[in-house]
């Protein structure tokens, strides 16, 4: 997170998941072939052999059912040079992406060709598959292609696998630079100081916390500063008993809408300091702040809200906030 | 078909937008521009439709907050496509054709700079056999460009001419993010970035948003439009199509979907064509597929090589074409949008000027 | 010019399961599409355009997956669109597809919506922490449970109403060959005894996470007649309404966008007493309490009285207004398709093709979907007779 005094607050945001992909009949056979160091193509309706085999014909949309073996050697039809490989790309040193037509196939496949410089690759170059040490039934079982002079022995296929590969796992990891809006940034800096800097819409004068880039009713930024106390009520809530991937708070916990005194909108926060089952609609609560040296620019600076022990608010007083 | 005209357009483009990925802060001033330009208010709008991408923003439902910019209380008739806003415009045009609305406001937005764009776009490829190799958009475009060079369809100089013409035009476009003009010689002197492509052959990563108002010729509020003296840009043809995805099976030197869309929309006689070609050689493919003759003015705005705000760039092309009609520089103009790897999906909107 | 008539002439669904590991994404979609085409008696050659819907791309980890699916779903060489309006998307997608016909642009449009949730994890995809906010979000259940609590408080509904809905929908699902959950013996008591997940929402009161797809063929009046379709589901009216996720004093229990949408739909179709004039409804109920909430929102009951329709058995399969005859979202939930399933099941009812869960003589049926934080609404009313 940035510590600048003005401008948008930034934070790294990671979106990461290992997707499990069921392959269906055609790709399952193709991937099982790769695990056995064999490449299969699919015969299209017009008789051409396509690699990888599509599950449905690109012209007639009918299922492709006839899979045929093709060679692990072929020819570069076109290429482009990657001087600075991106994370996840097949090689982490300069390489070429190429469309390679394998011998026995009619259409090319996209993959990497491992050569040292653009001078070492040309259209028409003969290449062969470089297999992974451990094959797993994934497209990356082909690590890359490499130049072939025709004298090499074709790699020995592995023994047939006991099991078909019906699932492949694809890790997706994306890194984002997340930025807050100017209004949220003001709010975040306030939180660092232990203050709640809300803003009102200049048109409808409703007080928004956090403040907003656009008042959702009037479509203009909430621009009128309005500092709020850190006390309020629980309007409604639920008790989260369910654990899930990526969860940051240990269940069970109370996720509640807290309506601060003077605010016109509630926000979600955590209620602690009493048994979850003692939390009530209308209960008076007060923010419990993290120590100053642990504070960032996030609403997490408020560790949680806890009951003040004051009498509950009358239902009619917050009914319109539900 | 009901006559529908483009009556308002506004845009913002920049290299790096220092704000939230839902781009609300960009949309607010853009909508304000539109209200100021047209004299209309949100009450004059019968339908709203937007285009954006969750993967560009890095989170699910990224479009949800964007409607705050509308001020959507009372609730509005509204929809969203996970596509360039040019397709949102198509949905809005349909809505007007059904008679359910007389006018529509369409917007698109995207913060391309939030993550490495050319890598993120690898998620558009076949998830089983291609995405795990993370082929980036520039590399894929390079495969296409080299194919054309080696088959004699175009050469390095032809690409440089596209770049030079775009950059010269873009120098006059206040919204362009690349505004320094280049000559053919300048381009050819540039080192290769992703052999066979130079940086200037590739669209710049661009953040931005754009919005457009369209209205039926019989829309009740039309006579209240502030700029009633402006030549009206009436949509005369609107079509789109998609090609199969598999790169190896496609003829990468062709774009059958662009051809089909152009044919259905009727490209003959256009004087100005705003083409969404994120790579220089793709303009050459599109010119051919859309059967644009040599004297058509292509991308007087500078095109995608000067600014390419993802998910609004197609709508921007249509808006730029409409501007040429508003100013009477052209009587018949075309805006084009593309989506997907190597020109897979294409849309063509043809419009004509008509006096009030 | 006026709107052209359009009708559903074919419906296809996959079997819904937690994990459809037997198929790829293309295979999953084709299962639904091939059934819809066969049901309509048409082939891909007859289709003019394809409209695809699904919920967030993060679920499957593919950006705009319709692009790689173009040939698998028969869209290559045709116009193709991709709609995304959160949970209402299946309904919105059907409406966009219908508008392609109603506008007079096309004669026959294929529409398909899907989710292959087993490729990832819905809770994860919906709860990726956003910087600077408090990470208390806990998926859709965590989002909606507080509003269910508000409803119970506002309406004074008895605790077991949510369980009545869940038991009803799970029993209905036993009559639907495509349904995901086949929990025989689900009773009000067993639902009440199930684990409290997001208090006040119990395990059996929540929807499953499913893989599945649903497809429809929508045709013009001319195309219906030329094809000699005897029992099309005519589209009488349709509507989409949206409002912001949160705003000051927003009614999150009985959202205005839903009320406005319903009022518009009834006006458009000439319905003055929905409870009497609509024969059955497929309503988007991912958490059981949303049945009574939506009964009020849709105008089938006065505010605060929706639960009485549930409690009295009005919404049961043999009641006056059967709701979620198919078992609903509570029994099958491929999120992106869930809205379209509602729309398609409504069509099946008026086509007389709903099989064991058919409502006798259903002439007018409602399909309903909502999404986001109860802020995006899509609805249509279909009928066995032409409107008007």
Q: pLDDT per residue over C336-381, tens digit each?
A: 999 999 999 999 999 999 999 999 999 999 999 999 999 999 999 9
Q: Report the pLDDT value the prediction gives residue C290, as an integer from 0 to 100.
A: 98
* CA dihedral sign, ordered A148, A152, A156, A157: positive
Q: Nearest CA of chain B to the CA of A220: how many Å?
A: 7
Residues of B in contact with A97 (CB under 8 A): 135, 139-140, 142-143
**Residue B281 to residue B183: CA distance in whole angstroms:** 17
Confirm or reject contact between B81 and chain C (CB < 8 A).
yes
Residue A307 Cα, gap to closest chain B Cα (Å): 32
Put simply, whether A247 touches C (Cβ < 8 Å) is yes
Distance CA(B351)–CA(B331), nearest Å, equals 8
Minimum-distance CB partner of C241 among B77, B124, B257: B77
* Cβ pair C121:A17 closer than 8 A: yes
Residues of A in contact with B192 (CB under 8 A): 81, 118
Q: Is A40 helix (H, G, I), strand (E, B) or coil?
A: strand
Contact call for A322 and C137, based on CB within 8 A: no
Of B314, B262, B260, residue with least CA distance to B86 = B314
Smallest Cβ–Cβ distance between A80 and the set B70, B126, B143 belongs to B143
Q: Is C196 on the interface with A (CB under 8 A)?
A: yes
Joined tokens for residue B158: 């032809």
| pLDDT tens, per residue, chain A with 322 residues | 444 567 899 999 999 999 999 999 999 999 999 999 999 999 999 999 999 999 999 999 999 999 999 999 999 999 999 999 999 999 999 999 999 999 999 999 999 999 999 999 999 999 999 999 999 999 999 999 999 977 666 666 676 766 788 999 999 999 999 999 999 999 999 999 999 999 999 999 999 999 999 999 999 999 999 999 999 999 999 999 887 777 777 888 999 999 999 999 999 999 999 999 999 999 999 999 999 999 999 999 999 999 999 999 999 999 999 9
CA distances from B234 to A109, A294, B226, B352, C57 (A): 44, 59, 17, 5, 35
Asked if the C-beta of C270 comes within 8 angstroms of chain A's C-beta atoms, the answer is no
Q: What confidence tens digit (pLDDT) does each residue in B174-208 have?
A: 999 999 999 999 999 999 999 999 999 999 999 99
Q: Which of residues 99-118 of C touch A (CB under 8 A)?
A: 116, 118
- Where in chain C does DSSP place strands (E)? 6-13, 49-53, 80-83, 108-116, 196-199, 201-202, 211-220, 233-242, 280-282, 364-371, 376-383
Mutate to test the interface with C, among A13, A24, A180, A198 (most CBs of C within 10 A): A24
B192, HSE (Cβ side, Cα atoms, 13 Å): 15
Give the nearest partner residue to B74 out of C25, C80, C260, using CB atoms.
C260
Check C142 against A238: CB less than 8 A apart.
yes
Place of tokens 């013009």: C220
How many angstroms separate the CA atoms of A186 and A201, rounded? 15
Q: Which residue among C129, C136, C138 places its CB closest to the CB of A242?
A: C138
Judge: B114–A176 Cβ closer than 8 Å, yes or no.
yes
> Where are the alpha helices (H) located in chain B, listed in sequence order?
24-38, 54-57, 85-97, 117-120, 137-150, 156-170, 184-189, 256-265, 280-289, 313-326
Residues of chain C in contact with residue A300, where contact means CB-CB under 8 angstroms, are 134-135
Cβ-defined contact of B61 to C100 (cutoff 8 Å): no
Please list, in sequence order, all residues whose beta carbon lies within 8 angstroms of the beta carbon of residue B301, skipping any fewer than 6 positions away: B169, B170, B173, B175, B176, B274, B316, B317, B320
Q: Would you say the pTM of this structure is higher than 0.90?
A: yes
Chains in touch with C (3+ beta-carbon pairs under 8 Å) read: A, B
Pairing of strands A231-240, C196-199: antiparallel
Cβ-defined contact of A175 to B115 (cutoff 8 Å): yes
Is the Cβ of C263 closer than 8 Å to some Cβ of chain B? no
- Best probe of the A interface among B28, B71, B193, B197, by most A CBs < 10 A, is B71
Distance CA B192, CA B201 (A): 10
Residues of chain C positioned with their CB less than 8 A from the CB of A11: 131-132
Output DSSP code: residue A63: B
Tens of pLDDT, residues B241-299: 999 999 999 999 999 999 999 999 999 999 999 999 999 999 999 999 999 999 999 99
Interface confidence, given as ipTM, is 0.97
């Amino acid at each position: 997170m940035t510590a600048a005094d003005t401008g948008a607050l930034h934070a790294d945001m990671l979106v990461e998941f290992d997707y499990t992909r069921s392959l269906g009949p055609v790709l399952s056979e193709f991937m099982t072939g790769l695990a056995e160091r064999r490449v299969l193509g699919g015969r299209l309706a017009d008789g051409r052999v396509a690699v990888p085999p599509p599950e449905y014909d690109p012209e007639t949309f009918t299922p492709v059912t006839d899979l045929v073996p093709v060679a692990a050697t072929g020819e570069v039809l076109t290429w482009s040079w990657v001087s600075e490989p991106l994370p996840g790309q097949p090689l982490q040193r300069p390489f070429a992406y190429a469309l390679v037509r394998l011998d026995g196939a009619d259409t090319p496949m996209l993959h990497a060709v491992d050569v040292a410089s653009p001078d070492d690759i040309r259209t028409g170059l003969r290449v062969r598959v470089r297999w992974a040490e451990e094959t797993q039934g994934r497209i990356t079982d082909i690590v890359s292609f490499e130049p072939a002079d025709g004298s090499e022995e074709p790699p020995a296929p592995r023994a047939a696998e006991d099991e078909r590969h019906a699932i492949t796992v694809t890790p997706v990891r994306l890194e984002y630079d997340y930025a807050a809006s100017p209004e949220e940034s003001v709010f975040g800096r306030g939180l660092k100081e232990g203050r709640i800097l809300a803003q009102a819409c200049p048109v409808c004068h409703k007080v928004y916390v956090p403040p907003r880039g656009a008042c959702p009713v009037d479509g203009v930024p909430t621009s009128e500063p309005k500092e709020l106390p850190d006390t309020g009520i629980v309007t409604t809530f639920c008790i989260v008993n369910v654990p899930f991937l990526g969860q940051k708070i240990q269940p069970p916990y109370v996720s509640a809408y807290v309506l601060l005194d003077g605010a016109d909108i509630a926000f979600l926060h955590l209620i602690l300091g009493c048994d979850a089952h003692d939390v009530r609609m209308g209960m008076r609560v007060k923010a419990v702040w993290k120590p100053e040296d642990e504070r960032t620019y996030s609403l997490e600076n408020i560790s949680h809200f806890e009951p003040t022990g004051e009498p509950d608010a009358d239902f009619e007083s917050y009914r319109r906030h539900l | 078909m009901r006559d529908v005209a483009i009556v308002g357009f506004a845009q913002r483009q920049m290299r790096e937008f220092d704000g939230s990925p839902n781009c609300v802060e960009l949309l607010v001033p853009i909508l304000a521009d539109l209200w100021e330009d047209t004299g209309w208010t949100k009450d004059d709008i019968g339908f709203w439709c937007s285009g954006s991408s969750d993967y560009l923003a890095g989170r699910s439902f990224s479009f949800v907050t964007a409607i705050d910019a509308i001020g959507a209380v009372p609730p509005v008739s509204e929809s969203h496509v996970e596509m360039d806003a040019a397709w949102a415009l198509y949905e809005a045009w349909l809505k007007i054709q059904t008679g359910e609305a007389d006018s529509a406001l369409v917007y698109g937005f995207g913060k391309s700079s939030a993550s490495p764009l050319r890598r993120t776009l690898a998620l558009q490829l076949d998830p089983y056999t291609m995405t795990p190799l993370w082929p980036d958009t520039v590399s894929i475009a390079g495969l296409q460009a080299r194919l054309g060079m080696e088959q004699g369809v175009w050469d390095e100089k032809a690409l440089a001419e596209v770049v030079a013409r775009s950059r010269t035009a873009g120098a006059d476009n206040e919204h362009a993010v690349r505004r320094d003009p280049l000559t053919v010689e300048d381009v050819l002197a540039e080192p290769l970035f992703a052999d066979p492509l130079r940086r200037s052959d590739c669209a710049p990563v661009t953040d931005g948003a754009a919005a457009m108002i369209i209205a039926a010729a019989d829309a009740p509020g039309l006579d209240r439009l502030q700029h009633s003296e402006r030549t009206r840009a009436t949509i005369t043809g609107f079509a789109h199509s998609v090609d199969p995805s598999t790169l190896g099976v496609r003829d990468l030197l062709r774009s059958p979907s662009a051809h089909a869309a152009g044919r259905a929309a009727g490209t003959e006689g256009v004087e100005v064509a705003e083409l969404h070609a994120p790579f220089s050689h793709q303009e050459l493919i599109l010119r051919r597929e859309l059967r644009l003759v040599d004297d058509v003015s292509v991308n007087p705005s500078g095109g995608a090589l000067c600014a390419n705000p993802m998910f609004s760039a197609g709508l921007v092309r249509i808006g730029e074409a409409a501007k040429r009609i508003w100013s009477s520089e052209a009587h018949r103009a075309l805006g084009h949008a593309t989506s997907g790897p190597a020109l897979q999906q294409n849309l063509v909107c043809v419009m004509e000027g008509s006096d009030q | 010019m006026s709107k052209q008539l359009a009708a559903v002439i074919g419906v296809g669904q996959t079997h819904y399961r937690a994990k459809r590991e037997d198929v790829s994404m293309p295979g999953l979609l084709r299962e639904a599409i091939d059934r819809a085409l066969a049901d309509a008696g048409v082939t891909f050659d007859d289709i003019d355009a394809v409209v695809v819907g699904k919920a967030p791309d993060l679920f499957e980890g593919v950006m705009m997956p319709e692009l790689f699916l173009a040939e698998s779903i028969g869209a290559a060489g045709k116009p193709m669109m991709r709609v995304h309006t959160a949970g209402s998307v299946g309904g919105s997608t059907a409406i966009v597809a219908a508008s392609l016909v109603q506008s007079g642009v096309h004669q026959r449009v294929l529409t398909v919506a899907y989710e292959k949730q087993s490729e990832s994890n819905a809770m994860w995809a919906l709860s990726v922490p956003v910087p600077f906010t408090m990470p208390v979000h806990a998926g859709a259940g965590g989002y909606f449970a507080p509003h269910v609590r508000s409803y119970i408080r506002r309406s004074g509904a008895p605790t077991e109403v949510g369980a009545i809905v869940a038991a009803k929908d799970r029993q209905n699902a036993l009559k639907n060959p495509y349904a995901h959950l086949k929990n025989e013996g689900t009773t009000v008591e067993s639902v009440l005894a199930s684990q409290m997940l997001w208090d006040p929402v119990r395990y059996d009161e929540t929807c499953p996470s499913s893989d599945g797809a649903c497809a429809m063929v929508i045709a013009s009046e001319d195309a219906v007649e030329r094809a000699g379709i005897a029992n099309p589901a005519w589209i009488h009216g349709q509507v989409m309404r949206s409002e912001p996720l949160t705003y000051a004093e927003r009614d999150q229990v009985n959202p205005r966008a839903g009320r406005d949408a319903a009022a518009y739909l009834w006006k458009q179709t000439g319905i003055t007493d929905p409870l009497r004039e609509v024969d059955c409804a497929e309503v988007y109920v991912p958490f059981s309490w949303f049945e009574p909430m939506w009964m009020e929102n849709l105008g089938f009951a006065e505010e605060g009285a929706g639960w009485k329709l549930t409690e009295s058995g009005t919404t049961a399969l043999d009641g006056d207004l059967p709701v979620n005859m198919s078992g609903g979202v509570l029994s099958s939930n491929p999120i992106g398709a869930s809205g379209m399933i509602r729309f398609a099941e409504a069509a099946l009812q008026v086509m007389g093709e709903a099989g064991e869960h058919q409502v006798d003589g259903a002439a007018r049926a409602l399909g309903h979907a909502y999404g986001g934080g109860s802020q995006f609404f899509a609805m249509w009313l279909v009928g066995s007779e032409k409107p008007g």
